[in-house]
Amino acid sequence: MRIFLTGYMGCGKSTIGRKVAALMGIHFIDLDKYIEERYFKSVPDIFAQEGEASFREKERQALQEVSQFEDIVIGTGGGAPCYFDNMSKMNEAGITIYLAPDNETLAFRLLKSKTIRPLIAGKSKEELIEFIVSALEKRAPYYEQSKIVIRGVNDVQPAEVVRLIQEYTV
């Protein structure tokens, strides 16, 4: 079984992914961390030193690799579904789940996050919400291709995600 969590940064892919994997007794991989370990560079460093095109190619390759693993929950990067044919590849390889909390919740989480995110550095809450709305206009059509969509639930319970996965696989 392969489960791919998609959605915008701050939606909970890594947090929920770890908990879902633990409940299911399978492994979790954060795709960005996988890339960082494989290339010995942080994602922001890859962006800064090599550019977005190079990062997206590395991301595509990493996604192809982890798509071969068994019994895994994969937290994708927020942009991963939106490039190449990544979304269709994930749908072919396993179950895709779009985590879609409301924009206010995304902004709140991103503002309090300790993770360095160059795209949103220095933005006020209002600027961040505008940025999120604009980004989701472009990205949502990809995320919406997920087999399971969990919309507007700001505190998704891992047990509920597991239940939805089980329902989907029956």
CATH number of the domain encompassing residue 81:
3.40.50.300
Confidence of residue 35 (pLDDT cuts 50, 70, 90): very high
The pLDDT, as a whole number, for residue 161 is 96
Determine the straight-line distance between the first and last CA of the chain, rounded to whole angstroms.
13
The pLDDT, as a whole number, for residue 122 is 86
Does the residue 165 lie in any domain?
A: no
Does the residue 169 lie in any domain?
A: no
Does the residue 21 lie in any domain?
A: yes
Does the residue 144 lie in any domain?
A: yes
DSSP single-letter state for residue 149: E
The pLDDT, as a whole number, for residue 117 is 77
Measured in degrees and rounded to the nearest 5, phi and psi for residue 57 equal -70, -45
Does the residue 97 lie in any domain?
A: yes
In the predicted structure, residue 167 carries a pLDDT above the cut 90: yes
Does the residue 76 lie in any domain?
A: yes
Does the residue 167 lie in any domain?
A: no
Does the residue 15 lie in any domain?
A: yes
In the predicted structure, residue 25 carries a pLDDT above the cut 80: yes
Q: What is the mean pLDDT of residues 45-63?
A: 95
Total domains, the chain: 1
Cα–Cα distance measured from residue 104 to residue 117, given in angstroms and rounded to the nearest whole number: 18
What residues make up the domain containing 99? 2-150
State pLDDT tens for residues 76-111. Answer: 999 999 999 999 999 999 999 999 999 999 999 999
